[in-house]
Amino acid sequence: MAIAATADFKPFSRQQMARHAAADIPEGWYVNLGIGIPTMIADYVPIDREVIFHSENGVLGIGPAPEKDKIEPWLINAGKQYVTLRAGGSYCHHADSFSMIRGGHLDLCVLGAFQVADNGDIANWATSENDTAPAVGGAMDLAAGARRLWVLMEHTTKDGSPKLVKKCTYPLTAPGAVKRIYTNLATLDVTDRGFEVLAMAPGLSFEDLQARTEAKLHQPS
Amino acid sequence: MINKIVQSMEDAMSGIKDGAVVLLGGFGAVGQPNALIDGLIHQGARDLTVACNNAGVGHVGLARLMELGRVRKIVCSFPRSSDPVVFETLYRAGKIELEIVPQGTLAERMRAAGAGVPAFFTATGVGTKMAVGKEHREIDGRTYILEHALKGDIGLVEAWEADRWGNLTYKQAGRNFNPIVAMASDVTIVQSQHLRELGEIDPDHVVTPGIFVNRVLHVPYGDPSGF
């Protein structure tokens, strides 16, 4: 897909993307953050705003990353990074942990994705029907089970192909699940009429954004 | 007197048959019953179906069991790891069968087996290739697929504390799949960091009641390392 002449704009950094998502998470929500950039969101939620972070491996109430000399070798998250447990946190086994997900108890999950379609379909676990060894982990449970699914990802692939598409070409993680997307170029909602643009990177025009997006974009109504 | 504590790995592993379905606790290296997996390697059972979250790291533990050609099929959610070389080599060569299961469905299939529930409906996987060939049912306006219980002939579990009745506690995120593996398996074999006298574990703190446990081996190896 040809990209229109580039205007002078500044994409959001990953930190800014994480900050945008963090700003939209209110106190009291139970939230699962996917492996990768979504994990960074926790760094931008102040500790006195009580958001309870969940990890698939049975940890509820994850706190800030541990200092190097205070690592607890039995305490990891789903990305197998060392974490801490804040006061009020708890442990449970895997079936209870996924009951929190599948039973609709999580207010929010934020995942990375390869593609999101303007009907909310998400593809984030395999890039081919014949993946050598596909690894789904908990992505399908989270996408189908959390009350809200947001996506945090780059707006296009490294070679410039759109990731916000009319129809996912990669194997689906879940149909019609995504409600909001934070990219390095924009924040968008998935609505009945498709993608609505809530915010754009400084200096980027609506036309510039559309040129980098396969599906049709809408101004908020 | 009931005494589920065994004194040797040979006793812990006795009677595991070729073709057995083996469920493994653990998530990465945390809560993974490594000593028992090594015991299974020495025990010699072949043609195994192994169900656990990951498909082994490097050339040790589960990866070694696979490398020795003893695993016919692996049921897991996430075969990738920091070093999945053994699994990927076998898989590409068509020498191991893989059943990918969403992590929550894997956990629920084990819990269902332990609870006497033969199958259940779930929304996870609907509209994806996981749903192909599975029974669909609309309940209260939402579509679900039917998933079947996953029962183990053998369950290998890592606990923090155990007593001679098989009551277990776990440490932090080391709990993960272990309690549901214990429930879901005909013969549940536990390696425990600590042995306690009967009554010494506060009943309020028991996570896996001894009814789900058959054998306990004392393996005080220390902290997990390597993922």
pLDDT in tens, A4-49: 445 589 999 999 999 999 999 999 999 999 988 899 999 999 989 9
Size (chain B), residues = 227
**A6: in domain:** no
- CA nearest to B25 within chain A: A94
The average pLDDT across B208-221 equals: 97
User: How far away is chain A from the Cα of B81, in angstroms, using its nearest Cα?
Assistant: 10
**From CA B32, how far away is CA B224, in angstroms rounded?**
8
Closest to A39 in 3D by CA, of A61, A60, A55: A55
Catalytic residue among A56, A154, A196, A207: A56
Does A174 touch chain B if contact means CB atoms closer than 8 Å?
yes
Is A3 part of a structural domain of the chain? no
Q: What pLDDT is recorded for position A5?
A: 45
A179 vs A151: CA distance, rounded Å:
8
**A191, burial (CB in 10 Å: exposed 0-12, middle 13-18, buried 19+):** middle
B14: Cβ contacts below 8 Å, ≥ 6 apart:
none
Contact A171 B107 (CB under 8 A): no
How sure is the predictor about B56, in pLDDT bands with cuts at 50, 70 and 90?
A: confident
CB contact under 8 A, B107 and A94: yes
Give residue-wise pLDDT tens across range A51-70. Answer: 999 999 999 999 999 999 99
Q: In what order do the strands lie in the sheet with A164-165?
A: A122-123, A115-117, A164-165
**How far does the CA of residue A31 sit from the closest CA of chain B (Å)?**
16
Please tell me the distance from the alpha carbon of residue A55 to that of residue B108, in angstroms, as a whole number: 17
Query: Does any domain span residue A2?
Result: no
- Domains of chain B by residue range: 17-100+151-218
pLDDT at A221: 76
Chain A residue closest in CA terms to B97:
A133
CB B76 within 8 A of CB B53: yes
* Interface probe with A: pick from B171, B175, B183, most Cβ of A within 10 Å: B175
Q: What is the pTM of this model?
A: 0.95
| Total of domains in chain A | 1
Whether the CB of A130 is below 8 Å from some CB of chain B: the reply is: no
Write the CB contacts of A130 (distance below 8 Å, at least 6 apart in sequence): none
In percent, the amount of chain A with pLDDT more than 70 equals 95
Q: Can you tell me the mean pLDDT for A146-154?
A: 98
Tell me, yes or no, if A56 is annotated catalytic: yes
Give CA–CA dist A95/B107, Å, rounded: 5
Helix B103-115 × helix A94-102 angle, to 10°: 120
ipTM confidence score: 0.95
Q: A57 CB contacts (<8 Å, ≥6 apart)?
A: A76, A77, A78, A94, A97, B27, B30, B173, B176
Q: Which CATH number fits the domain that encloses residue A70?
A: 3.40.1080.10
B157 CB neighbours in chain A (<8 A) are: none
> What is the average per-residue pLDDT within B101-114?
98
* A4 domain residue, yes or no: no
* CATH architecture for residues B17-100+151-218: 3-Layer(aba) Sandwich (3.40)
CA distance A205 to chain B (A): 35
Span between the terminal Cα atoms of chain A, in Å: 28
Give the one of A72, A102, A133 whose C-beta lies nearest to B91's C-beta. A133
Strands B142-148 and B48-51: unpaired
Mean pLDDT, to the nearest integer, of B212-217?
A: 98
Do residues A185 and A155 lie in contact, with contact meaning Cβ atoms separated by under 8 Å?
yes
* Cβ proximity of B4 and B216 under 8 Å: yes
Q: Which domain holds residue A106?
A: 14-218
Q: In this predicted model, which residue has the larger pLDDT, A36 or A186?
A: A186
Residue A77 Cα, gap to closest chain B Cα (Å): 8
